[in-house]
Structure 1
Amino acid sequence: MSRLIVSAGRRFGRFTVLFFVVPALIIFCLWMSLLDSHPIWFIASGFVAMPIATTALAFLFGTLFAGFRRSKVKGISEAEAPGLWALWRSVAGPRRAARTVVVLEDNLNASVREERTLFGLLGNRLFLTVGIPLLAVTDETALAAILAHEDAHVRNKDTNGSLNLAEFENGFGFVFEYAPPGTTISGSLLHAAIGWLSESFEREEIRLSREAEIKADRHAASSGAAEQAARALLLLATADVHFKQTVHDPLQHELRGALRPPRPPLDRILEAVGQLREPIFLNACARKAWASPDDEKSTHPSWAQRLAALGYTEPPHLDPIAVTALSTLVSSSTGQRHIAEFDAKWTARMEDYLQR
């Protein structure tokens, strides 16, 4: 049953709720028919029929208005990152770039998601998120391959994991926002009704995400730049291994028993980038990334699996990048401002955490 519902969610998106609403409507109509002929049964069954009807109404409300509100996320302007905008425009095309919001973040990643406001009647927007650490460990050529990967997610319609399935889930989220479980009858009934679906949703989202990553990798390589796609993927993999060993693991150790927030991670990451300029160290990290085991619960396949999908049976040799994308694609003042803001937010968050 759960497979059928998840499959319907992938195919019909938010309109999958009709599979729930129609039976509820039939029950409601049968209940109303008892009003004249069997008033006692009408009153007795009302304790079941009314919550079912209100839950179905909440479902329809969520279907209609999930995604109605436009996101308030503000990205960086073209004046702040002229090179990054120009690169995205060359990869995605001017029409797709025109409806994109480019956002800088503090993680080693790039991602894209799509927002369809009111069924797309108020327009579709893309949110391209690019991490400052990613810009610091790639050059323009490598970043172009990564952006081609993100553009492939849009072309393959698998943004947000699976756009239809994501919108189906957003319908639930919208209802729970206005009818919280535990405080409202409708929310509690709906939560109880779909609780058993959560594991199925999670497994399907992981499966779809892993498939989407391989498809996007192959798309990025299909334009004749297979070597550059593999190089970009491996640069990202080496940085991931390096930052885990030199930044994230030591930072977790320092936070145990700390009285004050330690040095913020982004500051450490930008310092650790220098070690990746050494060819021997860089390729040693690449081999460690290749040997990393696959985590079946991760939304991404292992680095070795992704490179194998591009035809590699061992990690290719890497030459260190000469000039970072961070230095050429984003204005210096914009980069410094965002780095300072990210460090300040992390420090404030850790101060609150350590004071508890």
Structure 2
Amino acid sequence: MNKPLGVTVIRHIVDSQRLHPEATGDLSGLLNELVVAGKTISAEVNMAGLADILGMSGKTNIQGEKVQKLDEFANNTIKKRMARCGYLCVMTSEEEDDVIPVADGYEGKYTLAFDPLDGSTNIDVNVNIGTIFSVHRRRTPGGQGSKEDMLQRGRDQVAAGYILYGSSTMLVFTTGDGVQGFTLDPSVGEFYLSHPDIRTPERSKYLSINEGNRNYWPENVRGFVDLLKEKDQEKGRPYSCRYIGSLVADFHRNLISGGIFIYPRDSKNPKKPYGKLRLLYEAAPLAMLIEQAGGRAITDDGINILDIEPTDLHQRVPLIIGSKLDVDEAEGFLR
């Protein structure tokens, strides 16, 4: 399907729906509601320094992390917007201990997992942050959804994406038919198609990893990172390091320009033996995006992220994600 630059995201969603005569429009409606929530959060992010919502809220989330005021705003915005949209049966958020019920009488056939503001520790220093989301069809037959509906493989997602708040606000998402990128025009409050059919480079020259944790990595991970730093003219090495510390920002740069992002398991914190990244609303949606764009996503022992059966809402996984040939090489080296 030809995707002309400048088409609005709403028009794109409607046009895509027309290719599926069996579609009811519920997924389209759900995505439209997420778009509105993203616009609301974007406006608040852009005014954060003037609106006294920078800094900490004084609360701690289920991850044991201090909650930023803007984090709390984003979480509440998505919850309130989506609870009565009529397309969801249940939600889960990085900021909530348990599943989030929808309003009675508004139960739908999809689930939503989201990180309301990934990279929020960078809010006060004006580094790119973003909202990550994942959508599945429900498993249970009707009424309010449950934890069972949320705990599904990434392979079974029907949509995934993120909204990146930075020098411009971008929406990047997939429904299983390629990856599309839209940029928000704040003058009219509309997302326009700016990056159609995104394909990530097959091989890159960039590495994204927090080398401050090197001493805590498994030996094979240290060996692979050292390999990427060795001179190899044929493979364009040594690689250059590019690490922002905001997963969604690091991922977006690598998606567009090529790169491999690594957050392995480490021994730094005994309570987090598999690293800090969560499967349901960080690793799995980004894995769907990168596969749709021609890349790959695996754990540091070679398991495809999309094939992991989750056992907990806030399950953590090691993550290696990015350009296909780089991840292939990592897989061969680490196994």
Give the helix-richer structure, 1 or 2. Answer: 1
TM norm structure 1: 0.27
TM norm structure 2: 0.28
Give the strand-richer structure, 1 or 2. Answer: 2
Larger Rg: 1
Higher relative contact order (CA 8 A, sep 6+): 1
